[in-house]
Amino acid sequence: MTFTRTEIPDVVIIDPEVHGDERGYFVETFRADKLENFLGYKINFCQDNESKSSRGVLRGLHYQLAPAAQTKLVRVIQGRVLDVAVDIRKGSPTFGKHVSVELSGDNKRQLLVPRGFAHAFVVLEDDTVFAYKVDNYYSPENDRGILFSDEAFGIDWKMPLDELKLSAKDKVQPKLCETNDIFDYSVNYYD
């Protein structure tokens, strides 16, 4: 398992070692000890989620406020997505910046999206199965979002905006400058 910090160091790409032969493959997708050793802090994942989507579906940008803030460890089992994490920690040197990484069933790559980040993905291939772990349970009262097309981020979704399929909720999220429901960089959300 290889861990690589992105241009936003708190967002981490994880490349697992794939063992394959003519019979198929085996891959270890999660090791708490290795991840925690790399990060320097503990993560207690408590819920796994999975979605199946067609090409063009965009889910996000989503996050949960404290005390229900979530770290996500995301991956694609089948198909392909562009996965995006946006730093929404006011006072952070990378505030408003984003990381985008292609995750696929073929590359087995994963992305660790820490607390303090909004998360989204756009599906690049039909019948894509997306899975992720979270370290806090879903909390409707703490559920928040930011408009996926906020020009402040400059995200290239790799397809025309008029081809994207969004939920009614995701079409009307506020822009980052229109919300105070974000994180404070000086606060440790892992205590």
- Tokens (6 digits) for 60: 């996000």
For 35-61, write each residue's pLDDT tens digit: 999 999 999 999 999 999 999 999 999
User: How many CA atoms lie less than 13 Å away from 73 in the CB half-sphere?
Assistant: 22
Give me the pLDDT at residue 191, please. 73
Give me the pLDDT at residue 83, please. 98
Give me the pLDDT at residue 1, please. 93
Q: How confident is the model at residue 139 (pLDDT cuts 50, 70, 90)?
A: very high
Which of these, 59, 67, 40, lies nearest to 135 by C-alpha position? 67
Mean pLDDT, rounded, of the chain: 96
Which of these, 7, 137, 129, 143, lies nearest to 63 by C-alpha position? 143
Contact between 189 and 66 (Cβ < 8 Å): yes
Give me the pLDDT at residue 23, please. 92
**Cα separations in angstroms, 57 against 30, 42, 84, 104:** 26, 33, 14, 15
Q: How would you write 112-172 as a 3-class SS string?
A: EECCCEEEEEEECCCCEEEEEEECCCCCHHHEEECCCCCCCCCCCCCCCHHHCECCHHHHC
Widest distance between CA atoms in the chain: 54
- Tokens (6 digits) for 76: 């694609």
Which of these, 90, 87, 94, lies nearest to 118 by C-alpha position? 87
Share of the chain above pLDDT 70, in %: 100
Q: How confident is the model at residue 119 (pLDDT cuts 50, 70, 90)?
A: very high
Q: Which amino acid is at 92?
A: S
* pTM for this entry: 0.95
CA 111 – CA 6 distance, rounded (Å): 10
Give me the pLDDT at residue 63, please. 98
* Residues noted as catalytic: 62, 132
Give me the pLDDT at residue 85, please. 98
**pLDDT higher than 90, residue 16:** yes
Q: What would the mean pLDDT of 89-107 be, rounded to a whole number?
A: 97
Q: How would you write 55-76 as a 3-class SS string?
A: CCEEEEEEEECCCCCCCEEEEE
Give all domains of the chain, ordered by start, each with its CATH number: 43-184 (2.60.120.10)
